[in-house]
Amino acid sequence: PVYIVQSLFDEAQMQMSKVPLLTGGTYGKWTYIQKLGKQVAQSLQNIRGVFAPSCIDHEILTKK
């Protein structure tokens, strides 16, 4: 079995898309982040064994 861990709001992906994280809130940034989360959730919809947290500010499984 395979178990997938994927954040709905991938920090690295957003940085590559030139979205400065958590600095200055604009409607455009918020809209982009919401759209990204929905697209990731949709892409994982038919996969069994997925843990997809929706917290944008915490890294998972990278800290002790």
Q: What is the pLDDT of residues 2-51, one digit of tens each?
A: 777 777 766 666 666 666 655 666 777 778 777 877 888 888 888 888 87
Q: What is the pTM of this model?
A: 0.54
Supply the pLDDT for residue 24: 64
For the stretch 5-38, what's the b/e string if a residue is b when 16 or more beta carbons lie within 10 angstroms of its beta carbon? eebbbeeeebeeeebeeeeeeeeebeeebeebbe
Supply the pLDDT for residue 52: 76
pLDDT of 64 higher than 70: no
